[in-house]
Amino acid sequence: MNAYYTDEVHGKHEYYDLGGFPLRSGYTLPEAGIAYKTHGTLNAAKDNAVLFPHMYSGTSASMEIFIGEGRPLDPSKYFIILPGQFGGGFSSSPSNTPAPYDRGQFPPLAIADDVIAQHRLVTEHFGISTLHAVLGWSMGAQQTYEWAVRFPEMVPRGAVFAGNGRTPVHNQVFIDLHTELLTSDPEFKDGFYSDSADLRLALKRHAVAFSLMGFSAAFYRDELWRSLGFVSSNDFRQGFLRGYFAPMDPNNLLAQASKWRAGDISDHTGGDVAAALGRITAQFFVASFSEDLFFPPEDHDADCAHIPNGHRRPIETPMGHFGMFCLREEDQAAVDAVIAEMLDA
Amino acid sequence: MNAYYTDEVHGKHEYYDLGGFPLRSGYTLPEAGIAYKTHGTLNAAKDNAVLFPHMYSGTSASMEIFIGEGRPLDPSKYFIILPGQFGGGFSSSPSNTPAPYDRGQFPPLAIADDVIAQHRLVTEHFGISTLHAVLGWSMGAQQTYEWAVRFPEMVPRGAVFAGNGRTPVHNQVFIDLHTELLTSDPEFKDGFYSDSADLRLALKRHAVAFSLMGFSAAFYRDELWRSLGFVSSNDFRQGFLRGYFAPMDPNNLLAQASKWRAGDISDHTGGDVAAALGRITAQFFVASFSEDLFFPPEDHDADCAHIPNGHRRPIETPMGHFGMFCLREEDQAAVDAVIAEMLDA
């Protein structure tokens, strides 16, 4: 058990038992479970729930920076559900599943698996028939797309930040690189290591890849790491990115990344992305970050053009994909504005 | 001896003996040599020489695609010298230097080492006192900058394509990633492998990094690999990029990349890039490729602003950094136009 994926680090989680859970890949995950956190109270009409899945490498707690009294995601108004994704370390993951589905033999996942598990949590456990909204960033955006296409009647409002209906090919090349970096550590042993703390080399290499692609040329050119309290770019890379990824489990990261890479809403429509996006009935807000090297603004333009009630909301920031971390006040204001507009749509 | 770095593959090279060559790093490379190719004839006045150093992973032969009768670089008019850079496999390199300076113990290099060696070739061997022009792409651009700042009286005209006076920090992060990929192969053995053909894993991983950063999101989005005769992006990545890098020597690539990473014209001026660029007296043309993830257009704007006779020539292409490969006719026309304008300036 990796000490990082615990309530001590990420706050108290709840768990919903999914039983034997059939995955899109054809495997059945025995005794599967979905972890989640909630904020606020489900009202009697059960119509104030907002679902906010998290991004790659994150946990339910990662999304809590967007929640607060007086903020758009106000827990005095909404019942905010923060589901943990499969592979995220709290829901069923390589790091917490018993043999013979553990570690290097955890079955392949799909974005749809997460959404189907979340749907069961929302409907079976909470008895909710319509969500007020679904939103997410990056892999959370991929899950939001999957929700809006798979269960359009349940999603009257949605917002995606820096994510696409189908993962761009250039982005897939990054995932391939990322996979090389995590698996190249001699301690990786096809995923059958006993302690993720031994995977220092894998996690160090992986952090270099995110130093490159997670931020932008402008971020380094303008020395924006200074605003985070670092004294050099190396200091930032070591203190922020290596520090962030160091306690994580490489098998978990790989399980998430393979879903990210394969994300494709057109699985619903025989490969026709436009047709899949055309199924979205929600008032749907499509936000991107300029300089995003993972999910460039151009790909958001293309997605939004096919969504009947799509509203394009590009956000200008030199922070690249990690604009969503809201390390700049302007970024938080811009993100909150899109969330507020969407919640009231 | 790696069979790739031979005249059979790259055409006939000449060699100029540099003797014991003092490197900027404080080492002396014994029996150093600079390889080169030439096209055309040096005229009696010795004033028609154009120096065209090559990019990372290239050889003198790589620049021959820009030379031809009727092209701006016309060998019936100019004496075109194509020097091989240290570490390039023909000039002194990890792959061709005897112990104790071979392979993993080849000394650290600097862009200035190349330029000083080229200067000796040009002055001592050819007896040239002023070049007609110097130009280069990427690491060739870095060498062009070094020429224009170190020997301004010898460089009346210059052109850089996709390269900067100081390597951008984001670009340095890429080199770090690239280094992790090349050195992570268990066969690497700190560079003391006996046959570079055993470094398949290193070269495969390295090719993934160039698949990501050498081209652009737009290149993959618009499936521009189709114009190169490939039937899928994977086909392109395997056939083009893995194929291109597969025969190379990882120690040679690392030796080049460390120069690339450290490229900084402000070594001449105590860290003041503007002051260094201000020393350039040449009519100097600064070309960039849009979507270039290594050397973005913005960094060229900044460089050009400090060059007294700087002429900014941005080139629009979805090919990213590899726009210089001129895989599209429009790119060749745009590159040739800048070369022609510079040669006549």
pLDDT digits (tens, 9 = 90+) for B53-102: 999 999 999 999 999 999 999 999 999 999 999 999 999 999 999 999 99
Binary contact (A215, B170; C-beta < 8 A):
yes
C-beta of residue B139 within 8 angstroms of C-beta of residue B266? no
For residue B65, how many other CB atoms are within 10 A of its CB? 14
Is residue A253 within 8 Å of residue A199, measured between CB atoms?
no
Asked if A181 lies within 8 A of B176 by C-beta distance, the reply is no
B292 has catalytic annotation: yes
Domain A168-262, architecture per CATH: Orthogonal Bundle (1.10)
Mean pLDDT for A304-317 is: 98
Asked if the model's pLDDT at residue B287 lies above 90, the reply is: yes
In tens, the pLDDT along A42-66 reads: 999 999 999 999 999 999 999 999 9
**Sheet with A283-289, side-by-side order of all strands:** A14-22, A28-39, A79-83, A49-51, A133-137, A157-161, A283-289, A310-315
B205 chain-A contacts, CB cut-off 8 A: 177, 180, 184
Q: Among B333, B331, B263, which residue's Cα sits nearest to residue B291?
A: B331
Distance (Å) of CA B291 to CA A151, A196, B131, B312, B326: 37, 37, 32, 16, 15
* Residue B61 confidence (pLDDT): 98
Q: Which of A62, A95, A138, A216 is catalytic?
A: A138
Using a CB-CB distance cutoff of 8 angstroms, which residues of chain B are in contact with residue A298?
Answer: 217-218, 221
* Topology adopted by domain B169-262: Rna Polymerase Sigma Factor; Chain: A (1.10.1740)
Residues on chain A touching B219 (C-beta within 8 angstroms)? 170
- Measured CA to CA, the distance from residue A216 to residue A322 in angstroms comes to 9
Span A162-184, average pLDDT: 96
A292 part of the active site = yes
Rounded distance between C-alpha atoms, residue B334 and residue A12, angstroms? 60
C-beta separation of B228 from A177 below 8 A? no
- Do A176 and B208 lie within an 8 Å CB cutoff? yes
Average pLDDT, integer, range A178-197: 95
Q: What pLDDT is stored for residue A331 in this prediction?
A: 95
State the first-to-last Cα distance of chain B, in angstroms, to the nearest integer: 43
Type of residue found at A251: N
Q: How far apart are CA B321 and CA B318, in angstroms?
A: 9
Say if the Cβ atoms of B212 and A296 lie within 8 Å: no
Paired tokens of A181: 């970096």
Map residue A190 onto helix, strand or coil.
Answer: helix
Contacts of B45 (CB under 8 A, 6+ apart): none
Question: Best mutation site among B164, B166, B167, B169 for testing chain A: the one with the most A CBs within 10 Å?
Answer: B169
DSSP letter for each residue of A292-335: -SSS-HHHHHHHHHT-TTEEEEEE--TTGGGGGG--SHHHHHHH
Give the start-end residues of each E strand in B262-341: 283-289, 310-315
Numbered residues of chain A with Cβ closer than 8 Å to any chain B Cβ:
168-174, 176-177, 180-181, 184-186, 201, 205, 208-209, 211-213, 215-221, 233, 237, 293, 296, 298-299
Predicted local confidence at residue B115, as pLDDT: 98
Contacts of B171 in chain A (CB under 8 A): 217
pLDDT tens across B226-264, in order?
988 999 999 999 999 999 999 999 999 999 999 999 999
Chain A residue whose CA is closest to B204: A180
Per-residue pLDDT, B37 = 98
- Chain B residues with CB inside 8 Å of A212's CB? 170, 173-174, 177, 213
> Is B321 among the residues known to form the active site?
yes
